Amino acid sequence: MSAADAESRMNYLHIVSVFPALTEAFVLREIRTMRGLGCRVTIGQLRSAGKTPVSAEFEDLRPSVVDAKVFTPGMLAAIFFFALRKSGTVWTCLKLVAKSFPDPINTAKLAYVLLASMDLAYRSRAAGIQQVHGHHLHSEAVSAMFIAKLLGLPYSFKCYTVKTYYPRGILAEVVRKAKFIVADTIQVRNFLESLQADSGRIFVLRNAVNLREFPMRLREAATAPPTILAVGRLDFKKGFHVLLSACAILRDEGVHFRCLIVGSGDEWNSLLARKKSLRLEEQVEMTGSLRFSEVQNWYEQATLMAVPSVVAPDGSTDGLPTVVIEAFARGVPVVGSSTAGIPEVIHNGVNGFVVAPGSSRELANRVKELLSDSDLRHKFATAARRTAEREFDLDRNAHALVTLMFGNQRQDKLADTLVACESVVEHTTSAR
């Protein structure tokens, strides 16, 4: 098959909420990889970035972005076009929006998503799109379903967490009619099955990284003092407040260390106040958001990575944080909590440590153990890199996604990737 023929066959619309959101760089790296495999990817953006932090890393993808333009003459054209040609489909979509009534916020959000989807569908109707794909079981997946209905196409989406924002009845409709669903973790797969998803259409494919961009460190950096690294958006569920308490314990026990917290978010002021109240000004530095290259530099220097995620008061969890995957690839030992998908990949005592969520005492103990044992750090780092090569290889997982979307001749790639994922299922089941 020629490259031109492959591109004409592998043409899909990828729905994102905002382009290029800083917190969703992993989504855009996947899109870039899919393009490298010969896919023609159009990125459908549902709304403008506004105050959302964006990344400067993905300007090469900008020519592929089509942003929804609602409340414009073009939007009116889209409404008239589909109202005349697909009136039954539009009515079905409107009934789905009405399921969120009497919640005014969700009703307004879904109405906006429908309008944005009609605009994107109208502007993409002659582009030869074969499939619509979204990330997250939220507006992106709902939009993928709306657009697919309007254009008579299949749709799919990837789900990362068990947190729901729209009514379950609406999400169950999205889940039920998808061509296939990609789950990032076993926890998510089970959640999707609770929404009555067909288990035969759920595939566990991990969030992944380009292993060439995340090479194994040649040696551990000899930093003085040793560096505890934590990276992520400053949300309550990330558990950075637990890490600060653990740092206070380590200091009081005479442990020499430096802790670096990279990220920004709603918990910034709260964490600063906690840092001050615990008298951690000398031990803990909060940097705010950093560029990709700067975070890579800290992976090179870190002695270990702390991922102290907790369950938030609203029940939301952290999924499988990308930083775990990145640290594994770089060969940085990780101490993570037993929430969501983290214990699916950190096998306690094999490639890292798993601690109880919210236990600053246990977190401090494990961090102290790692800081004092270079042989153990080397053991964890080597095993973590092997895990990354088996489960978090973006090239291989993208091959599997192409196969799921287009049914091309890459069945061996899909089989290999799913075998790796099944080994995780077996481990998770036996550990219970």
Question: What average pLDDT score do residues 203-220 get?
Answer: 92
Question: What average pLDDT score do residues 292-311 get?
Answer: 95
Q: Is residue 418 part of a domain?
A: no
Q: Is residue 421 part of a domain?
A: no
Q: Is residue 399 part of a domain?
A: no
Residues 252 and 374 in one domain: yes
Residues 191 and 253 in one domain: no
Identify the residue whose tokens are 């105050």. 51
pLDDT at 424: 39
Q: What is the average pLDDT value for the chain, to the nearest integer?
A: 91
Residues 183 and 231 in one domain: no
Residues 73 and 114 in one domain: yes
Distance CA 305, CA 322 (A): 12
Residues 264 and 120 in one domain: no
Q: Is residue 271 part of a domain?
A: yes
Candidates 198, 153, 152, 204; CA nearest to 172 is 198
Q: Is residue 298 part of a domain?
A: yes
Distance CA 395, CA 398 (A): 5
Residues 194 and 259 in one domain: no
Identity at 11, one-letter amino acid code? N
Give the pair of three-digit tokens for residue 28.
Answer: 């855009």
**CA atoms within 13 A of residue 183's CA, in its CB half-sphere:** 25
Residues 188 and 288 in one domain: no
Q: Which residue spans within 254-379 are E strands per DSSP?
A: 258-262, 284-288, 304-307, 334-337, 353-355
Q: Is residue 427 part of a domain?
A: no
User: Exposed, middle or buried: residue 133 (CB in 10 Å: 0-12, 13-18, 19+)?
Assistant: buried
User: Count of domains in the chain?
Assistant: 2
Residues 165 and 272 in one domain: no
Classified as helix, coil or strand, 288 is strand
Contact in structure between 282 and 225 (CB atoms under 8 Å): no
Domain residues for the domain of 111 are 3-204
Share of the chain above pLDDT 70, in %: 92
Task: Kindly tell me if the per-residue pLDDT of 89 is higher than 70.
Answer: yes
Residues 173 and 263 in one domain: no
pLDDT at 219: 84
Q: Residues 306-343: pLDDT tens digits? A: 999 999 998 888 889 999 999 999 999 999 999 989 99
Q: Is residue 210 part of a domain?
A: no
pLDDT at 427: 37
Least confident of 5-19, 48-62, 79-93, 329-343: 5-19
Residues 152 and 48 in one domain: yes
pLDDT at 4: 46
This prediction has a pTM of 0.87
Helix residue ranges per DSSP H, 61-185: 73-85, 87-98, 104-124, 139-151, 168-177
Q: Is residue 308 part of a domain?
A: yes
Task: Kindly tell me if the per-residue pLDDT of 17 is higher than 70.
Answer: yes
Cα 311 to the chain's mean position, in Å? Answer: 17
Identify the residue whose tokens are 């000398």. 282
Residues 199 and 240 in one domain: no
Residue 109's CB is within 10 A of a number of other CB atoms, namely 18
CATH for 332 = 3.40.50.2000
Q: Residues 239-285: pLDDT tens digits? A: 999 999 999 999 999 999 999 999 999 999 999 999 999 999 999 99
Residues 347 and 314 in one domain: yes
Q: Residue 149 — very low, low, confident or very high, per pLDDT cuts 50/70/90?
A: very high
Q: Distances from the Cα of 73 to the Cαs of 69, 269, 402, in angstroms?
A: 9, 43, 36
Classified as helix, coil or strand, 136 is coil
